[in-house]
Amino acid sequence: MTPPTAQPSTVVRRGPRLRDGITVDTTDGVLELRYEGTALLRARGVGTTVLDRIAELTGPPQPRRPLTGAEAAAYEKVMGSAQRYVADAVWQDDHLVAQAESLRPGTLIRPVELSEEDVVRLSKFAYVHRRGDALHVESPVSGARVVIEDPRVLGLVGRLSSAEVVRDLTTLDGTGLAPETVQAVVELLVAVDAVDVAEDGQFASDTAVQRQWDFHDLLFHSRSRFGRTDEAFGGVFPYRGELEPLPPVRPHHAGPEVELPRPDLEAILERDPALVTVMEGRHSVRHYGEEPLTVAQLGEFLYRAARVRGTYGPMPEGGMPYPASSRPYPCGGAGYELELYLTVRRCAGLAPGVYHYQAETHRLTALPTPDALRQELLDGAALSAGGDVTPDVLVTMTARFQRISWKYRSIAYAVTLKHAGVLYQTMYLVATAMGLGACGLGSGNSDLSAQAFGLDYLEESSVGEFILGSRPHPLAGAPAPGGNPIGKAGADATWVPHLDPQWYATSHRALRGDG
């Protein structure tokens, strides 16, 4: 990204250009576009003139006679097939300044023309990052980007942090870019929705829909789903042959171990309510009974929800070149990167403290967490649950991130959050079936938990929290008499029944032992 030397006169050009790294081969009259030796597109019988025009797309546009008839049709057909490999570029004195690229298959960058009176401002969703040796300005609003080829563009982007009139940008630029270049680059940034144009005094970032998206949420949404990313995606095993995958079971922490009681399957089958009763009667319980949770109950809960049933693999021939495990909840690729840490306030038979659950041995390892940090974790859980809450046990889910990112690209963290969700539901159902009080929490302090558990934040840190305790008597949240069988506080006046709400009341009574 070296700026050109000063020229006696400036010529600014804008037009299509093949993206960086794509080459053209026209051997024997066959058009072939390649990227790092891999053929992307082949076309035959398009004619010499069309081949020459496509080959010229590696440099700035030159004056040429317009194509007509069959040549024009052939050119348009090839460009239609190649559109995902073509950028909208700006040159100054034959020096490439910037180019806009769509990340959405089949979607071209729309041409934008600004007047000198237009008011522009950087979108709140725009960001600059390095990809390889290039700097990109991207926005998840449209799924497109501008590749910066001239570092002076960064100064222009900086000016756009506040609203600017196009006339002022072009006449008072200060970067050394020609006014026409400045306007052309801003038009590229507008075309990819990295820059907003005010309409009736309002920018797109300030409209109702965009205001309700946070930057990181929209970026995460766009980058962890197909459609608006051209990054490597899915189970591509990006580090195979370079890094070893993490083991299927986490190595144990050092510290004293506590053997947990193991439940008996026949006894559970005898006493457990039906699945429909558990699902219909399940609700979040934030206040607990006078008697504490017992170590036997805690052991059964962990055994049923999260133990390791076995390990197996690797099986390269089956697309699984890493060892895996089996546990009671579903997991993408059998990666099982989640770990459970217990912050115990009260549990009959188990000393207050912080523990890691050894899922393959059904033991707890006591961690040397200071009491002050343990209390901070419990206080944070109480705040997340509404304030007036004193859980018996806080269950913190952490993720061994590299266990999943060894296989997946672009979706690794999204997959981890899906795993946290299914483990939440598994723990809810197990706790309800056991007659315990349980509540999933909306957030927690990952930095605090990493400190409390002795973890490296980037290697393993928290992604979910769940509080657990003994069931209160009577069971909290009991259905209210009258027309509202759900019993939500303050909802009677607005309660509108829909599909069989009495299922909840019936199931709740069964779980409570009232029939």
Count of alpha carbons within 13 angstroms of residue 94, beta-carbon side: 5
- The token pair at 354 is 């912080």
CA distances from 122 to 257, 431, 433 (A): 55, 49, 53
Where are the alpha helices (H) located in 406-499, listed in sequence order? 412-434, 446-453
The Cα diameter of the chain in Å comes to 93
At how many degrees (to 10) do helices 295-306 and 412-434 cross? 140
Question: What are the strands, taking DSSP E only, across 305-362?
Answer: 310-312, 324-326, 338-344, 353-358
* Distance (Å, whole) CA 504 – CA 510: 10
Of 422, 394, 398, 396, give the one whose Cα is nearest residue 338.
Answer: 398
Token output for 441: 């929490």
Name the token pair of 92.
């100054």
Strand positions, DSSP E, 68-159: 86-92, 95-102, 119-122, 127-131, 134-139, 144-148
Cβ contact 336:228 at 8 Å: no
The answer to whether residue 175 is domain-embedded is yes
Contacting residues for 186 by C-beta, under 8 A, at least 6 apart: 114, 120, 156, 160, 166, 169, 195
Short-list 171, 152, 169, 151, CA closest to 160 = 169
How many CB atoms are closer than 10 A to CB 104? 15
Give the angle subtended at the CA of 246 by the CAs of 242 and 248, to the nearest 5°: 140
Whether 465 is in a domain gets the answer yes
- Domain harbouring 354, CATH code: 3.40.109.10
Same domain, 469 and 489: no
Report whether 192 contacts 204 (CB < 8 A). no
Secondary structure class of 481 (helix, strand, coil): coil
Q: 3-state SS of the chain: helix, strand, coil percent to 5?
A: 35, 25, 45
Q: Report the candidate in 178, 180, 97 with the shortest Cα–Cα distance to residue 137.
A: 97
Q: Are residues 468 and 495 in the same domain?
A: no
Q: Are residues 457 and 506 in the same domain?
A: no
**Residue 505: which domain range?**
483-515
Claim to verify: residue 247 and residue 316 sit in the same structural domain: yes
Whether 320 is covered by a domain: the verdict is yes
pLDDT reported for residue 483: 63
Give the residue among 120, 196, 126, 195 at the shortest CA–CA distance from 164.
120
Give yes or no for a contact between 468 and 347, defined as CB atoms under 8 angstroms apart.
no
272 lies in a domain?
Answer: no
CA within 13 Å, CB half, 347: 26
CA dist., res. 367 & res. 353, Å (int) = 8
Q: What is the Cα–Cα distance from 103 to 229, expressed in whole angstroms? A: 5
Task: Give the tens place of pLDDT for each residue, 157-180.
Answer: 999 999 999 999 988 767 789 999
CA angle 496, 474, 429 (to 5 degrees): 70
Contact indicator for 112, 191 with CB cutoff of 8 Å? yes
Is there a single domain that holds both residue 90 and residue 148? yes
- Together in a domain, 24 and 134: yes
User: Residue type for 429, please?
Assistant: L
Residue 449 lies in a domain: yes
Report the alpha-carbon distance of residue 291 to residue 219 in Å, rounded.
Answer: 46
Asked if residue 6 is part of any domain, the answer here is no
Do 353 and 298 have their domain in common?
A: yes
Would you state the structure tokens that stand for residue 160, as one six-digit string? 């756009």
Segment-wise mean pLDDT, segments of 10 residues, the chain, 515 residues: 57 90 88 88 88 88 85 87 88 93 81 94 96 92 93 93 93 83 96 95 94 96 90 92 96 97 97 96 91 97 98 93 97 96 97 98 98 96 90 97 96 97 98 96 96 98 97 65 67 80 88 75
pLDDT of residue 83: 81
Query: How many C-beta neighbours within 10 Å does residue 130 have?
Result: 8
Q: What is the pLDDT of residue 105?
A: 74
Residues 58 and 160 grouped into a single domain: yes
CA distance 157 to 183: 12
- 266 lies in a domain? no
Helices (H) and strands (E) in the chain, counts: 15, 23
Quickly count: other Cβ atoms within 10 Å of residue 398's Cβ. 24
According to the model, what pLDDT value does residue 377 have?
97
Q: How far is Cα 486 from Cα 478, in angstroms, rounded to an integer?
A: 8
Distance CA 133, CA 197 (A): 30
Last residue in a domain, options 175, 194, 223: 223
Q: Are residues 239 and 165 in the same domain?
A: no
Is position 267 within any domain? Answer: no
Q: Are 362 and 296 in the same domain?
A: yes
Q: Are residues 397 and 292 in the same domain?
A: yes
Within this chain, do residues 401 and 494 fall inside the same structural domain, yes or no? no
What is the total count of domains within the chain? 3
Whether the CA torsion 424, 427, 428, 429 is positive or negative: it is: positive
